[in-house]
Amino acid sequence: MINRSDILSTIDMIDNQHLDIRTVTMGISLADCADPDIHRCAEKIYDKITKKAENLVKTGCEIEREFGIPIVNKRISVTPVSLVAAACESEDYTPLAKALDRAAKTCGVNFIGGFSALVQKGFTESDRRLIASIPAALAETDFLCASVNVASTRAGIHMDAVRLMGDIIKQTAELTKDSGGMGCAKLVVFANAVEDNPFMAGAFHGVGEPECVINVGVSGPGVVCHALQSCKGKPFDVVAETVKKTAFKITRMGQLVAQEASKRLNVPFGIVDLSLAPTPAVGDSVARILEEMGLEVCGTHGTTAALALLNDAVKKGGVMASNHVGGLSGAFIPVSEDEGMIAAAKSGALHLDKLEAMTCVCSVGLDMIAIPGDTPASTIAAIIADEAAIGVTNNKTTAVRVIPAPGKQLGDEIEFGGLLGSAPVMPVHPFSSEAFIARGGRIPAPLNSLKN
C-alpha cells in the first residue's frame, strides 16, 4: 500500500537532485471520431479530446501542490491518426493536425502525440496520406508530435517506408528552417513502437488500450548520480544494487502520482514508464551517471557496458515498485536534452557510431541529434535502417529522431530551448548509402521472430 510516508524520504531528491515526474500522459481513443468529411472528423477529434482532458492539467497541478512533487509535463496521446482518418475523403490530413494542436492548447498541455502511422509491413492509402502530411502538419502546429513505425521483429524492416521517411525528415527540416529544423524534433521513426509510451515525441494511444488511460513517466538521473557518489571505487555489484534501490524509490513516487491522477480523473491507471529522462540542467544527466562509474568522459571505451548496467538495474529496481510497468522503461540518451551528452559531443568523445552501439542496451535510440543540413535523405534513411536493425534483431524498441539542421555545418549549434536543449551538429559518414536505400522492399524478419 502506497501512502504519503513513502514520499517523505524523497524531499532532498526533489529539492537538490532534480527528481521529478517527467510526464502525466492521458491516452485517448479516437476510434469513434472517424468521418468521411475531414472537417467533421476534425471537430469530433477536438470535442472528444477537450472533454476527456479538460481537467488533466488542473489535476496535475493539484497533485504537485499537495504532494510537493514536480510534474514537468502534462501530455495527451491519441489513436494513430492514420487509422482514425482512413474513412476521410481527403488527400491532406493537415486539418486533423490543426485540430489536435488546437485541442492541446485548449487543454493547456505541453504536447499531444499520435499524428502517427504504423507501416512496418506495408502502407494503406491512409498511411501514405498521413506521412505525406507530416512536414506541413509539424510546420503549421506548435504542440503536435508525429511518429511512424517502420519495422518490427515480427514483420522485418519496411525499407520503402525507411526511404520515404528520409525524404519526409528533409522536407520537415526545410519547412521549419526558421527555427533550426524544429519540426524534426517532434518526429520519431520507430522499430517495435509500443502502445503505452507516455514520452514524446513518440507517444500514441494503441488500439489495444482502453477508451482512456493515464500513463506516467518518471525521471531522476540526478538522484541516481548522487547515490553513486557513495560507492566510489566499489565493485559493480555494489553499483548495481545502489541503482536498483534508488530506482525503487523513484518509481514508488511515480506509482503514487499515477494512482492519484487516475482516481481524481476517474480514468484507469495504465503504466509507469521507468525511463531515466535527462534534461539540459546541470546535475540531471545520464552521461554524468556513466562518468560517475569511472569513465573519464561519456563515449570512451566502457560506455556501452556502463549503460547496460544502468539500464538493467533501473528496470530491476523499478519493476518491484509498481503494479504495472510499461512504455519504454530504460535510460534515454537524447544528445540535446542531456548536459553531459552535449559536453561529450562537443569534446569529440561521443559520435554517431558510439551512440548507435549504446542504443543496443538502452531506451530508445538515436535521439535529438543534429546533423549537417546538407546530409542526403538517403543517408538519413540508412541511419534509420541501422537503428531499426538493432531493434528488430534484439526484439526491442529503437527509434531515430535526427535534425538535419538547415544551413548548419560541423561546429555549429542549434538552440531549441526548454527540455529540448541545444544540439551540437555532429558528423555523419561522408560515403553514400544511396544504392542501398534505393533497393526498397522489405528486409525479412529475423529467425528469432518465430517464437510460437
Predicted structure pTM score: 0.92
CB 338, CB 287: distance < 8 Å: yes
CATH annotation of 218-441:
3.20.70.20
Which pLDDT tens digit goes with each residue over 15-39? 455 567 888 999 999 999 999 999 9
pLDDT average, residue stretch 57-71? 88
- What CA–CA distance (Å, rounded) separates 171 from 173? 5
Q: Using the predicted structure, report yes or no on whether residue 11 has a pLDDT greater than 70.
A: no
Q: Where in the chain is the domain with CATH 3.20.70.20?
A: 27-56+65-191, 218-441
Cell numbers that stand for 287 in this block: 552521461
Interatomic CA distance for residues 422 and 415, integer angstroms = 4
Q: Which residues, in sequence order, are CB contacts of 331 under 8 Å at separation 6+?
A: 221, 275, 276, 286, 289, 307, 310, 311, 314, 362, 363
Q: How many CA atoms lie within 13 A of 279 on its CB side?
A: 21
pLDDT at 10 (0 to 100): 57
List CB contacts of 369: < 8 A, sequence separation 6 or more: 335, 336, 352, 355, 401, 402, 403, 423, 426
Fold of 27-56+65-191: Anaerobic Ribonucleotide-triphosphate Reductase Large Chain (3.20.70)
As a whole number of angstroms, the distance between CA 113 and CA 143 comes to 8
Give tens-digit pLDDT for 77-103.
999 999 999 999 999 999 999 999 999
